Each structure stands twice: as C-alpha cells, then as structure tokens.
Chain A
C-alpha cells in the first residue's frame, strides 16, 4: 500500500545531542510537511517542501532544519534538542498545496524524548 513511513517510531536523545528524524513516502506526492505536536496540543506546522522549494514557518526555531534529498525522503534535523522539544513529530504529504480541498496524508509519527 502506498503510504507515509516514519522512522524511528520512538527516539530518545540527550539534551543538546543532534537528532534526525526520517520520513519517506511511496505516494509520489510533491509536498512534504513536518508538524510538531506537544502533549495535549494541536499539531503545529514547522515547515514544508514543495518539490525542492523549502518553506519555513515564521515562528519555527532555528534549531529545526529539514532536508529533502529526493521526492521520497524528507528529514527533520534538530541541532541541539532541548527539553521543550520533546514531542510527537508528524510527517505528512500532499499531491499539491494549492488545490481546493487538498488532502494531507500523515505518517504514524515519531515520539521524541529528550533526557
């Protein structure tokens, strides 16, 4: 089945130690999104790629970076994780971003713990 895959499902890192989360998709979608969801809060968009075009949200901390080496893969890099970065990180894809009623397809998420 075509889908969005996130690895690992659970990631534990130490305070200040760089960590990379991975997302891959078999849907061949043009757009890939990264959301952060803290406990009992709404998912919040960090950034997205439209093909190779990177779009950062204005309030996304510089500590968060992303790479999209090809259509299928997208990575979230946290350069120096703090305790406040512990959250569920959701990857999503969509065919495009400027179509009415555009659906986003979500991965299962990676739960990040910072010790």
Chain B
C-alpha cells in the first residue's frame, strides 16, 4: 500500500527565513514523488516533481530513498509562498490491479509566511 505522511499541519515562518516542509512516504516499489500547491482561492496545481530535479519558485525537493523522504525546501521564504502544500506519490505500476498513475496525497501543510 502507498502512504504519504506530512507531519506538520501548520508551519509559520518569517519572510526571508528558510523553510522546509517535510514529507515521508511508504511504498514498496519505485515511487514518483510530487509537490502540489494550492494558493488561496485557486485550484490545486503542480509545483514540482522529483523526476525533473528542477527548482520552481525557488523551491527544491530531493528524493531520499534511504530515508523515504521528499522534503520541500526554500532558502528564503516570501509572503506569496503562503499556501497549502501537498506531497503526493504516484505508483507508476501497481501490483494486484492497482491504478497506474494514481496519486496518493499527504494530509497537507499550511505554510504561512509572515512579513
């Protein structure tokens, strides 16, 4: 079974401070990891995916298979980063008829960046 854990429901930082949103996963196969973000009154949208190894809006995330983690980091938080962040896992191939490309979401972390 797939499971994603985001231990922090709420995270508050001041503008310019570093921020790290934690994500741990459980999956026996080879996972695809994503971060999705939902800004106030907007729809859920992709922020970044581990396969791309990219930096989006200053955010990066590294897949650590040893620690089964995919933490999201930004060295200097901005007020416009305030949003709900979801870590998600996709099982590309499932055993026993599980869905291909199914996203399993964590509970989400509400990030608030104070001025």
Question: Which A residues lie at the B interface, using CB under 8 A?
Answer: 4, 31, 33, 40-45, 48, 55, 57, 90, 92, 94, 96-109
Contact = CB atoms under 8 A, between A and B. Distances in A.
Interface string B49-89: 10110000000000000000000000000000000001000
Contacts of A57: 99, 102
Contacts of B52: 101
A104 B46 contact: yes
10 contacts: A31-B101, A45-B104, A55-B99, A90-B44, A100-B32, A101-B52, A102-B32, A103-B49, A105-B45, A107-B43
A83 to B, nearest CB: 22
B86 A42 contact: yes
B105 interface: yes
Contacts of B45: 105-106
B92 A42 contact: no
A104 B4 CA distance: 17
B49 A94 contact: no
Nearest to B105: A42
Interface string B20-42: 00000000000010100000000
Interface residues of B, number: 24
Residue with the highest number of chain B CB atoms closer than 10 Å, among A57, A94, A100, A109: A100
B101 A41 contact: no
A100 B92 contact: yes
Residue with the highest number of chain B CB atoms closer than 10 Å, among A4, A94, A103: A103
A3 to B, nearest CB: 9
A108 B90 contact: no
Given A45-B102, A106-B44, A109-B43, A100 B51 contact: yes
